[in-house]
């Protein structure tokens, strides 16, 4: 009768089975020796049954090991005008840069008394290119919202949109050359906040000779900015629109963005942020993973259930590479984004969102919000998991408690999650258009 060596964990699927093995097996030289008949009686595979093995291939083409293409994000500011502010800029958390660049674009026509200006605040990875123009005919990030007779009507309003400080589309950020060293700032660039983003916009307005804005509109990080602009400059902002934003970043949002940053920083090719040498290291894999994770926070489960369900790419044997359609979609989003944005800018601006607290610098939240007397439109999306709708309800509630009697709260049941502000023209566009145009004191550009 054949005998085999056996040990805990290899031939016993659970403790009960192992105890039965112990009762029928003898020990020799410190090892357990069992007969085949004993193994068969307990339903344990015999040596004859184990003399073949069929497993998965240990090849994973979806895990890229070869270098990716060179980053392309430097090319995306061709439609922007660059304001060179030749004075030191002081950051909210400390740090100074000797000069400041602000990339901005305008849409529409400024009227004679400059009373039709609306600030468009950019979200995390957006450039100043909100709409196509003669200088840059490529599609903007809010293309379907801005234009003649559209919700953001360029026949009536003059829109100003700037790239955020810390970004990579023309405004000062990690990829900007430090004039003291002749090299990019990289991770020596000072820590950036939403306060800094708002401050550079008012430097821009001053340079353009614009004293007041008819409105300030933003979503996500841009919504944080529009709220803060209304708090910091109540005499210069006449209306505020905040979409999918918050008064303070919640722990869940901070956690999700932290994981994205860790995906980048744990890529060896991030190289502590030194990524600007041509053909040098670049964290392609970290950026891809960060964006794939971010995409999970930007959209919603209901949308993906309708769009993908549990459909697989094919009926072939599954593998650890993309197998379900949803996996392929996330893979595609990561691949597409990884070369279109500066990894260091993503670190800086996502951290700025984490640090956001509209009450910072004021004794209480009520003290900060009581400064904002302008009418406010707050828009929330029920399917948003990144900045959940309860945080938009909180904005409206706290503003009302602070004494603002002109707060409108609009809650959408759109299925697109956080990205609804980019996709739901019918609902968001109509809400903004009504809010901006009811009771305006001018007709068209004059």
| pLDDT tens readout for residues 199-249 | 999 999 999 999 999 999 999 999 999 999 999 999 999 999 999 999 999
Instruction: Tell me the pLDDT band of 358, cut-offs 50, 70 and 90.
Output: very high
Residue 288: which of 331, 348, 323, 253 has the closest Cα?
331
Q: What is the mean pLDDT of the chain?
A: 87
User: Mean pLDDT, to the nearest integer, of 139-155?
Assistant: 95
Tell me, what's the pLDDT at 31? 47
3 vs 85, residue with greater confidence: 85
Reported as a single tens digit per residue, the pLDDT across 151-177 is 999 999 999 999 999 999 999 999 999
Tell me, what's the pLDDT at 23? 44
Taking the whole predicted model, whether its pTM rises above 0.75 is answered as: yes
Could you count the other beta carbons within 10 Å of the beta carbon of residue 193? Answer: 26
User: Mean pLDDT, to the nearest integer, of 251-277?
Assistant: 96
Tell me how far apart the 2 most distant CA atoms of the chain are, in Å.
Answer: 103
Task: Please determine, for residue 45, whether its predicted confidence score (pLDDT) is greater than 80.
Answer: no
Instruction: Tell me the pLDDT band of 438, cut-offs 50, 70 and 90.
Output: confident
Tell me, what's the pLDDT at 443? 47
Which of 125, 171, 418, 420 is flagged as catalytic?
Answer: 418
User: Mean pLDDT, to the nearest integer, of 401-415?
Assistant: 94
Tell me, what's the pLDDT at 200? 98
The answer to whether the CB of 208 falls within 8 A of the CB of 230 is: no
pLDDT > 90: what percent of the chain? 70
The answer to whether the CB of 141 falls within 8 A of the CB of 85 is: no
Tell me, what's the pLDDT at 78? 79
For residue 109, what are its two tokens? 């026509």
> Is 418 in the active site?
yes
State how far the Cα of 421 lies from the Cα of 424, in Å rounded to an integer: 6
With a CB cutoff of 8 Å and minimum separation 6, the contacts of 28 are none
State how far the Cα of 114 lies from the Cα of 97, in Å rounded to an integer: 31
Which of 384, 402, 420, 424 is flagged as catalytic?
Answer: 384
C-alpha distances in Å from residue 208, one per residue of 5, 117, 201, 327, 412:
84, 11, 10, 47, 36
Task: Please determine, for residue 137, whether its predicted confidence score (pLDDT) is greater than 60.
Answer: yes
Instruction: Tell me the pLDDT band of 3, cut-offs 50, 70 and 90.
Output: very low
> Is 384 in the active site?
yes
The answer to whether the CB of 274 falls within 8 A of the CB of 388 is: no
| Owner of token pair 């939403």 | 194
Instruction: Tell me the range of 34-38, 50-54, 327-331 where mean pLDDT is highest.
Output: 327-331
Reported as a single tens digit per residue, the pLDDT across 102-130 is 999 999 999 999 999 999 999 999 999 99
Q: First CA to last CA across the chain, in angstroms?
A: 103
Tell me, what's the pLDDT at 9? 39
pLDDT > 70: what percent of the chain? 82
The answer to whether the CB of 377 falls within 8 A of the CB of 226 is: no
Which of 122, 127, 220, 420 is flagged as catalytic?
Answer: 220
Angle formed at CA 236 by CA 234 and CA 239, multiple of 5 degrees: 70
The answer to whether the CB of 240 falls within 8 A of the CB of 372 is: yes
């Amino acid at each position: 009768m054949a005998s085999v060596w056996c040990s805990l964990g290899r031939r016993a699927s659970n403790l009960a089975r192992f105890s039965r093995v112990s009762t029928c097996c003898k020990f020799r030289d410190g090892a357990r020796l069992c007969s085949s008949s004993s193994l068969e009686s307990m339903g344990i595979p015999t040596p004859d049954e184990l003399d073949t093995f069929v497993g998965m291939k240990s090849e994973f083409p979806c895990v890229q090991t070869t270098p990716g293409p060179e980053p392309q994000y430097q090319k995306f500011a061709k439609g922007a005008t660059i304001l060179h502010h030749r004075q030191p800029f002081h950051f909210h958390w400390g740090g100074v840069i000797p000069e400041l660049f602000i990339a901005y674009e305008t849409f529409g026509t400024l009227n004679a008394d400059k009373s039709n200006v609306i600030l468009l605040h950019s979200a995390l990875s957006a450039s100043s290119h909100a709409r196509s123009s003669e200088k840059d005919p490529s599609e903007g990030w809010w293309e379907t919202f801005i234009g003649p007779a559209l919700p953001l009507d360029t026949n009536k309003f003059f829109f100003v949109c700037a790239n955020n400080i810390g970004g990579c589309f023309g405004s000062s950020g990690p990829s900007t050359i430090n004039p003291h060293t002749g090299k990019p700032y990289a991770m020596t660039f000072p820590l950036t906040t939403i306060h800094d983003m708002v401050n550079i916009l008012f430097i821009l307005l001053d340079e353009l000779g614009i004293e007041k804005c008819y409105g300030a509109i933003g979503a996500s990080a841009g919504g944080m900015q529009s709220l803060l602009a209304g708090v910091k400059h109540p005499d210069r902002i006449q209306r505020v629109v905040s979409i999918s934003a918050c008064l303070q970043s919640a722990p869940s949002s901070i956690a999700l963005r932290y994981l994205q940053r860790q995906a980048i920083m744990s890529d060896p090719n991030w190289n502590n942020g030194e990524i600007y040498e041509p053909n040098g290291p670049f964290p392609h894999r970290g950026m891809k993973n960060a964006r794939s994770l971010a995409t999970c926070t930007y959209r919603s489960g209901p949308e993906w259930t309708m769009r993908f369900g549990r459909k697989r790419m094919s009926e072939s044997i599954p593998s650890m590479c993309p197998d379900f359609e949803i996996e392929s979609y996330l893979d595609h989003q990561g691949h597409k984004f990884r070369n279109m944005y500066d990894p260091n800018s993503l670190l800086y601006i996502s951290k700025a969102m984490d640090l956001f607290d509209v009450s910072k610098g004021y004794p209480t939240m009520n003290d900060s919000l009581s400064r904002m007397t302008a009418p406010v439109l707050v828009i929330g999306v029920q399917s948003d998991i990144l900045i959940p709708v309860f945080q938009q309800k909180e904005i409206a509630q706290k503003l009302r408690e602070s004494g603002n009697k002109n707060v409108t709260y609009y809650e959408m049941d759109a299925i697109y999650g956080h990205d609804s502000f980019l996709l739901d023209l019918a609902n968001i566009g109509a809400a903004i258009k009504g809010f901006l145009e009811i009771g305006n004191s001018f007709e068209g550009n004059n």
